[in-house]
Amino acid sequence: MVDVLAAVRSRLQQHFAAAGVLGDPAEANVTFLGADRISVLRFGPDADGVNHFVTLGCSRYPMVDPTDFVTENQLGPRAEVMVSLRPPSPNGLARSMAVLAAAPSVEGLVLEPGALVDLSGPLFENAPFTAFLLGPSTVEDVVLREPLSAVTVLQATPITPTEAAWVRLKGAEAMREAWRTDGVDVLDAGRRASEPS
């Protein structure tokens, strides 16, 4: 049996060590009733002064649409999610990330680039953000023994209700373009909301 989480942890440590983040990450563990434990690892700050929070536990099982007829419970896409923010570390972020990471096993949600996941409440203490916008990250996929699918680490960007509405209307790439045009720093936990027109 492949230890998926050990393989993911090893890849994450290799990735961040190459980026100059040495040593073991700080770790928080969150458990929900009836679900497996989700860990949130904090790597950093890196050379740019950014902390990277990465879930470990989402990839334990493959993600499948609950309406699909599945006969093999080990096959299907696997993912973890990463949030990158400048210090200080926001209180409550680990729990929101764990809710996001548990969504595939609890709600049958499939996490993929471009997906918008709305948690309907602040993502962390005093945050204006209520949703995560998923996209590709800089972490290479974790290749597992066949026939298992590789684990993809997705970048999860906290966004406001106004931005979430824009994503639903125009799409994820239009939102990212608006951030670039407006000079919005999505690594700033206290950033202003973008108001694209």
What mean pLDDT value characterizes the chain? Answer: 91
130 close to 193: Cβ distance less than 8 angstroms: no
Any residues with CB less than 8 A from the CB of 13 and at least 6 apart, and which?
24, 25
Minimum mean pLDDT among 27-31, 36-40, 43-47, 190-194: which range? 190-194
pLDDT in tens, 142-164: 999 988 999 999 999 999 999 99
pLDDT in tens, 98-124: 999 999 988 889 999 999 999 999 999
Q: Read off the pLDDT band of 70 (50, 70, 90).
A: low
Q: Read off the pLDDT band of 193 (50, 70, 90).
A: confident
Give the DSSP letter of residue 142.
B
139 close to 12: Cβ distance less than 8 angstroms: yes
Q: What is the pLDDT of residue 119?
A: 96
Any residues with CB less than 8 A from the CB of 117 and at least 6 apart, and which?
100, 103, 109, 111, 131, 132, 134, 156
